[in-house]
C-alpha cells in the first residue's frame, strides 16, 4: 500500500485470436481463476480508490467474471479495438474527480508483482514506464534512456541497428498522474500502419510538454503475457512451481509437490500436510495442523485445525469443517457445516446440512436436499448416529443423540435421544432363490 492515491485501469478488451477460442482471452483460467483476476489481485496491493476494467470482445462474460472477482470494479466498453491508447481513453470518464496515480495493467499479464506496482505508484515522475532487461529483446519496443530519464520508446520496426541492440524493453505497463493522462490521451494520433492509438505515445507527449518521464524495471518473468494455449500452459506451470515453493517456505508439508495444484487464493497454515494429487480450486482455507490425504478436490471450503480429509474426497463451495473432523474416501460435501469431531467415513453426500458435534455419519448416507426446484436443509444434532445407507429427505431434523437404522428413508423429524427405523419389514421365502434360478436357466436354454 502507498500514501499516493491510486487507480487501476485493466485492459481486457482483446479477443485473443491466437488462443483459438470463443472465450475472451482474459477469461481463460490460470491458477483456478480467469487471467484478469490475477491483474486485479495484484492491484489490491495499492488499495486503489477506483478500478476500471476495459472490456470489448465478450464484454458481457467479462463483466460477469469481474463482478465476481472484484465487485467494486466498473466496466468501460471499447466497442472498436483501436489500440491501447483508445482503450485507456474509454476508461477515463470513470475516473472523474480522481486525482492521483493511474496504473495501466493488462488482463493477460498475470505475474506483475506487488513490489513492482508499489514502485510504479510511489514514483515521483509524472509518467513511469515499466521495462525489463532481456537477453533476447526480439520485437519488443526499446526503451532509450538518458540523463533525464526515458527519452523515447522506439518500436522494433522503426529501430536502427544500434537501437535494436538495446536490451531494455517496454512491458506496456504505464503509470501517470490522472490529470496529465486526461490531457495527453486526446493528443495521441493514429498515423501508423495499423491506424490505431497507442499508449506508448504518452511518454513522448509528456516529455514534449516538459514533464518528467522515468523507467521502473522488473524481472522479465513478471511481464509474461499470454497469447496462445502453449503460453497459458507454460504460465500455469510457472504459477504452480511458485505456489508450491511458497507453501513449503511457509511450513506446509507437501508429500509430492509436483502433483499438488494450487489456486491463486489458496491459504494453508503451517504444519498442515497435503498428500499427493490434491487439487485446490478457488476459495480454500486450511488451518494449521489439518491433513489432506491424496486425490482430493477442494473448492470454496474451510478446514479447521486437526481435521483430516480424504483420500478421494470432494469438498465443494460452502463446506465448513470444524476442528478434528474426519472426512473419508468418496465423500462429497457442499454448503454444509460439520461441527467439531464429526466423522463421515466414506461413500456419503452431505449437501445443505448442519451436523452437530461428534456425530457419526454412516457409509452411504445421502442428504436428499433438492426437490427439482428448491434446496432444503438437513439438521443433525450433536452426538447423533446415522446408520449406513440412510436417506435424509430434507427439510428434516435429527435430534441430539438420536439414531437412524441402517437403510432408513427419513422423511420426518426425529426427537432428541430417539431412534428412527424407516424401512420395509424383511420377508424370507425358503428355497425360492434356488427355484427361481432354475426356472431362469431353463428359459435361457430354450
**Where do the domains of the chain lie?**
6-223, 229-420
Residue 158 gets which letter from DSSP? G
pLDDT at 1 over 50: no
Contacts of 78 (CB under 8 A, 6+ apart): 13, 54, 55, 56, 86, 87, 90
Distance CA 8, CA 337 (A): 38
Q: Name the CATH code of domain 229-420 (choices 3.40.50.620, 3.30.470.10, 3.90.1150.10, 2.160.10.10).
A: 2.160.10.10
344-389 pLDDT tens trace: 999 999 999 999 999 999 999 999 999 999 999 999 999 999 999 9
Look at the block and give the residue holding cell 517456505: 249
Pairing mode of beta strands 320-321, 273-274: unpaired
Respond yes or no on whether the N-terminal peptide bond of residue 311 is cis (omega within 30° of 0): yes
Q: Could you give the count of Cα atoms lying within 13 Å of 186 in the half-sphere of its Cβ?
A: 6
Burial of 43 (0-12, 13-18, 19+ CB in 10 A): buried
The overall average pLDDT reported for the chain is 95
Binding residues for UDP-N-acetyl-alpha-D-glucosamine: 11-14, 25, 78, 83-84, 106-108, 141, 155, 170, 227, 316, 334, 349, 360
Contacts of 182 (CB under 8 A, 6+ apart): 92, 95
C-alpha cell at 389: 445407507
Instruction: Kindly list the catalytic residues.
Output: 346
pLDDT at 221 over 50: yes
Instruction: Name the pTM for this structure.
Output: 0.90
13-41 pLDDT tens trace: 988 889 999 999 999 999 999 999 999 99
Residues in the chain: 446
Binding residues: 11-14, 25, 78, 83-84, 106-108, 141, 155, 170, 227, 316, 334, 349, 360, 363, 369-370, 388, 406, 423
DSSP calls for 49-102: SEEEEEEBTBHHHHHHHHHHH-TT-EEEE-SS---HHHHHHHHGGGGTT--SEE
pLDDT confidence of residue 446: 80
Confidence of residue 3 (pLDDT cuts 50, 70, 90): low
Which stretch of 44-53, 139-148, 305-314 has the lowest confidence by average pLDDT? Answer: 139-148
C-alpha cell at 88: 485507456
* C-alpha distances in Å from residue 99, one per residue of 84, 103, 125, 385: 22, 13, 15, 62
Contact 272, 292 (CB under 8 A): yes
Binding residues for Mg(2+): 108, 227
pLDDT at 2 over 80: no
User: Is 3.50.50.60 the CATH number for 6-223?
Assistant: no
Instruction: Please determine whether the domains at 6-223 and 229-420 fall in the same fold group of CATH.
Output: no
Binding residues for acetyl-CoA: 363, 369-370, 388, 406, 423
pLDDT at 52 over 70: yes
pLDDT confidence of residue 417: 98
Amino acid at each position: 500500500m502507498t500514501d499516493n492515491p491510486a487507480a487501476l485501469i485493466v485492459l481486457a478488451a482483446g479477443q485473443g485470436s491466437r488462443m483459438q477460442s470463443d472465450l475472451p482471452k482474459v477469461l481463460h483460467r490460470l491458477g483456478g481463476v480467469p487471467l484478469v483476476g490475477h491483474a486485479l489481485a495484484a492491484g489490491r496491493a495499492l488499495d486503489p480508490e477506483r478500478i476500471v476494467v476495459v472490456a470489448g470482445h465478450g464484454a458481457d462474460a467479462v463483466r460477469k467474471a469481474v463482478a465476481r472477482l472484484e465487485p467494486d470494479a466498473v466496466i468501460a466498453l471499447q466497442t472498436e479495438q483501436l489500440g491501447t491508447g483508445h482503450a485507456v481513453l474509454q476508461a477515463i470518464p470513470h475516473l472523474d474527480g480522481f486525482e492521483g496515480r493511474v496504473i495501466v495493467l493488462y488482463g493477460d499479464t498475470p505475474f506483475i508483482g506487488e513490489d513492482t506496482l508499489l514502485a510504479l505508484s510511489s514514483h515521483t515522475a509524472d509518467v513511469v514506464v515499466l521495462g525489463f532487461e532481456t537477453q533476447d529483446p526480439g520485437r519488443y519496443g526499446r526503451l532509450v534512456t538518458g540523463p533525464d530519464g526515458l527519452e523515447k520508446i522506439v518500436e522494433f520496426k522503426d529501430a536502427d541497428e544500434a537501437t535494436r541492440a538495446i536490451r531494455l524493453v517496454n512491458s506496456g505497463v504505464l503509470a501517470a498522474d490522472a490529470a496529465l493522462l486526461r490531457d495527453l490521451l486526446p493528443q495521441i494520433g493514429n498515423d501508423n500502419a495499423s491506424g490505431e492509438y497507442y499508449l506508448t505515445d504518452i511518454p513522448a507527449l509528456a516529455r514534449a510538454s516538459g514533464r518528467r518521464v522515468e523507467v521502473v524495471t522488473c524481472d522479465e518473468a513478471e511481464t509474461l503475457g499470454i497469447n496462445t494455449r502453449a503460453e497459458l500452459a507454460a504460465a500455469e506451470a510457472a504459477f504452480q512451481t511458485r505456489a508450491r515453493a511458497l507453501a513449503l517456505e511457509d511450513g506446509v508439508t507437501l508429500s509430492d509437490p509436483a502433483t499438488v495444484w494450487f489456486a491463486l487464493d489458496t491459504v494453508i497454515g503451517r504444519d498442515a500436510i497435503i498428500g499427493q494429487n490434491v487439487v485446490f480450486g478457488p476459495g480454500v482455507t486450511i488451518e494449521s495442523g489439518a491433513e489432506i490425504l491424496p486425490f482430493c478436490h477442494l473448492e470454496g471450503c474451510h478446514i479447521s485445525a486437526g481435521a483430516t480429509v480424504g483420500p478421494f474426497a470432494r469438498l465443494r463451495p460452502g463446506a465448513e469443517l470444524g476442528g478434528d473432523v474426519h472426512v473419508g474416501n468418496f465423500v462429497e460435501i457442499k454448503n454444509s457445516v460439520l461441527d467439531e469431531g464429526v466423522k463421515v467415513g466414506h461413500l456419503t453426500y452431505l449437501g445443505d446440512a448442519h451436523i452437530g458435534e461428534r456425530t457419526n455419519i454412516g457409509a452411504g448416507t445421502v442428504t436428499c436436499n433438492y426437490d427439482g426446484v428448491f434446496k432444503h436443509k438437513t439438521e443433525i444434532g450433536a452426538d447423533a448416529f446415522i446408520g449406513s445407507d440412510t436417506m435424509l429427505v430434507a427439510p428434516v431434523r435429527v435430534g441430539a443423540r438420536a439414531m437412524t437404522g441402517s437403510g432408513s428413508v427419513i422423511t420426518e423429524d426425529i426427537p432428541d435421544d430417539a431412534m428412527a427405523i424407516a424401512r420395509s419389514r424383511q420377508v424370507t421365502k425358503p428355497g425360492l432363490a434356488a427355484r427361481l434360478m432354475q426356472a431362469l436357466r431353463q428359459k435361457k436354454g430354450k
